[in-house]
């Protein structure tokens, strides 16, 4: 596929605990993106710190690292044409107040610190290469 990209998405603990995972995954599949890896984990502290390393000098850092241990995280890798840009639009703004209705953050998030989804290019941080499945979907034909 031309311009095929991969992106990382994590459903944070409160998203998992609220039982809204299927709805988000369904939305990504309806956009014809392909799930190439998925796992439900209790992230270790080193992984959580590395994931938020860009925020290490902000007061929110310690809270985020602790929050990401408050329950399981569903880590996923998605593939598709312009998947990075498209999923960023589908996610909405980091601040739910600024997110439009119809976006994931706009519909399901209440506050910035507890938003329910995270999209970054952190695939190698959360997944080993052998955990990514390479397949051709019948929908590509």
Q: Which residues are catalytic?
A: 118
Give CA–CA dist 116/124, Å, rounded: 21
**CA distances (Å), origin 36, targets 9, 19, 31, 33, 97:** 12, 21, 15, 9, 32
- Residue among 7, 2, 3 nearest 87 (CA): 7
CB 15 within 8 A of CB 23: no
């Amino acid at each position: 596929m031309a311009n095929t990209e991969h992106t990382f998405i994590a459903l944070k603990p409160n998203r998992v605990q609220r039982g809204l995972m299927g709805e988000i995954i369904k939305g990504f599949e309806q956009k014809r993106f392909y799930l190439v890896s998925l796992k439900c984990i209790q992230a270790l502290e080193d992984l959580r710190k590395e994931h938020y390393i860009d925020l290490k000098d902000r007061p929110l850092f310690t809270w985020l690292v602790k929050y990401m241990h408050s329950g399981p995280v569903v880590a996923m890798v998605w593939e598709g044409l312009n998947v990075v840009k498209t999923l960023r639009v589908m996610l909405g703004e980091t601040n739910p107040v600024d997110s439009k209705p119809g976006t994931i953050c706009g519909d399901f998030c209440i506050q910035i610190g507890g938003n329910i989804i995270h999209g970054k290019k952190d695939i190698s941080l959360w997944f080993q290469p052998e955990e990514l499945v390479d397949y051709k979907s019948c929908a590509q034909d």
